[in-house]
Amino acid sequence: MRARGAIRYLAVMPSSAEHPRVIVALDFPDPGRALEFVGQLDPRHCRVKVGKELFTRGGPMMVERLVSTGYDVFLDLKFHDIPNTVARACVAAAELGVWMLNVHALGGRKMMEGAREALEALPGKRPLLIAVTVLTSLGDEDIHEVGMAGTAADNVLRLARVARRAGADGVVCSPREVKALRQTQGRDFCLVTPGIRPRGAATGDQKRIMSPGEAVAAGSDYLVVGRPITEAPDPLAALQAIQGEIDTQIAATQ
């Protein structure tokens, strides 16, 4: 039954050429290197993620520069604070023109509801609001060490339910939890998955990982990929290889 559900999901998803599924993580120590790198890619074929290090060094101008060159930007700052502070931060991010932003689901339902309401009040198209569940660097032992009961997967499913009730558009999760989330939350809930490693690539500090094809087969909407592309001798070729694997997986299920 699960395999058939995954096939039905993939059958309605467009190819990566029509709808870029890869979000390239721009984990660079300075804005100049990041901008030089994105010049090797094409905004028609991928989206980009700006995280804490790059945003701290490059600030809002870095995001605005990427947006002005045509890239859909996922602002990955994982806001987690009192509801009013997070709501105002989300509005500030939206005003930069970002396509997607995230908050920590552990901030609670009221915090996420406040963020969604603040974004809904803005004129024009709002960015996607995505909740972080459990970081992909954390395994079950890490979860237990900080006092959380159950497995990492258990907590992902629980936090996703809270995020959905709060009005979030989807969650960031490990690809290992995608199939269960797709079954419980349906096809209209956006699933963003880091921890993507092409077969044979180093795992780095990620613990709950999958290949691009496996993640898409499970039901991932967007795949966050960093070092396998940014550290590749030919980043564009690495991106195209991942896109090819995604499209092959989609075509095999149609």
Catalytic residue annotation: 78
Q: Is 183 helix (H, G, I), strand (E, B) or coil?
A: helix
Q: Is 78 helix (H, G, I), strand (E, B) or coil?
A: strand
Q: What is the DSSP letter of 253?
A: T
Amino acid identity, position 155: N
Residues whose CB is less than 8 angstroms from the CB of residue 145 and which lie 6 or more positions away in sequence, other chains included: none
First-residue to last-residue Cα distance in the chain = 17
Residues whose CB is less than 8 angstroms from the CB of residue 68 and which lie 6 or more positions away in sequence, other chains included: none
Q: Where are the beta strands (DSSP E) in 88-154?
A: 100-104, 128-132
Structure token pair of residue 60: 């809002």
> What is the rounded distance in angstroms from the CA atom of residue 105 to the CA atom of residue 112?
7
Structure token pair of residue 43: 């905004």
Q: Which residues pair with 172 in a beta bridge?
A: 132, 192
Q: Are strands 47-50 and 190-193 parallel, antiparallel or unpaired?
A: unpaired
